[in-house]
């Protein structure tokens, strides 16, 4: 059975975007190397170092579905209904956009984090489900639904912006020791979540 994992790129001071929702230098590591990692989206190819390539392939190779929040979905314009991971996307929202069925036929819109993860697991068919929005991740952590936290930690300080993590409803969460892969312009960390 697949895991529920997260993956976000984060600044050293804990932000996933600037206040205007733009990632600034956070995604520079996706083009900082000489190893090509194709994606399922013909418009996107990653150029990372060897360590980054192995980690990207490990994170995306076993993914059967992705869960995103409506804010990220809107900022990314639904990835043109072709997310680079190649997996169907489940969006947590109170209501889909009016033209959703025509513009994003591979995307499923679900009200609530827990039902969205349940739907994503069904779609994934035993493969992993990746959560990729800060608010969705926060709610899933509070619900005890995350198996592994994956963070690409980038050497930049924003000083302000959209934080990756907020207050936890249940207090402290102590993941297991990380598996870390130092790469060019990012350290890729994987933390199994203790139950």
Q: What is the pLDDT of residues 2-17, one digit of tens each?
A: 999 999 999 999 999 9
pTM of the shown model: 0.92
Question: Residue 72: its pLDDT value, please?
Answer: 93
| CA gap 79, 157 in Å, rounded | 27
| CA gap 82, 172 in Å, rounded | 36
Q: Domain limits of the chain?
A: 4-192
Length of the chain: 195
CATH superfamily to which 4-192 belongs: Dihydrofolate Reductase, subunit A (3.40.430.10)
CA angle, 63 then 188 then 31, to 5°: 85
Question: Residue 183: its pLDDT value, please?
Answer: 87
Rg (CA), the chain: 16
Residue pLDDT, tens place only, 138-190: 999 999 999 999 999 999 999 999 999 988 888 888 888 888 888 899 999 99
Question: Residue 53: its pLDDT value, please?
Answer: 87
Question: Residue 111: its pLDDT value, please?
Answer: 97
Residue pLDDT, tens place only, 29-78: 888 989 988 777 777 788 888 888 888 888 878 899 999 999 999 999 99
> Does 117 or 62 have the greater pLDDT score?
117
| CA gap 147, 137 in Å, rounded | 11
Q: Which segments within the chain are labelled E, that is strand?
A: 4-11, 15-17, 35-38, 45-48, 63-69, 89-92, 107-110, 128-131, 148-154, 162-163, 179-183, 186-192
| C-alpha 60 chain-centroid distance | 10
> Does 195 or 159 have the greater pLDDT score?
159
């Amino acid at each position: 059975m697949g895991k529920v994992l997260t993956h976000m790129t984060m600044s050293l001071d804990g932000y996933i975007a600037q206040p205007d929702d733009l990632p600034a230098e956070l995604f520079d590591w996706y083009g900082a190397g000489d190893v090509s990692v194709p994606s399922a989206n013909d418009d996107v190819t990653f150029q990372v170092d060897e360590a980054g390539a192995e980690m990207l392939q490990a994170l995306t190779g076993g993914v059967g579905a992705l869960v995103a929040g409506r804010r990220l979905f809107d900022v990314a314009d639904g990835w043109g209904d072709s997310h680079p991971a190649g997996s169907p996307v489940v969006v947590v929202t109170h209501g889909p956009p009016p033209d959703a069925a025509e513009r994003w036929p591979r995307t499923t819109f679900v009200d609530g984090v827990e039902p969205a993860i349940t739907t994503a697991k069904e779609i994934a068919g035993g493969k992993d489900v990746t959560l990729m929005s800060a608010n969705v991740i926060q709610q899933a952590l509070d619900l005890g639904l995350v198996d592994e936290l994956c963070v690409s930690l980038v050497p930049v300080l924003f000083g302000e912006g959209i934080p990756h993590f907020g207050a936890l409803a249940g207090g402290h969460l102590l993941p297991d020791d990380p598996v870390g892969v130092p790469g060019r312009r990012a350290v890729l960390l994987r933390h199994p979540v203790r139950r």
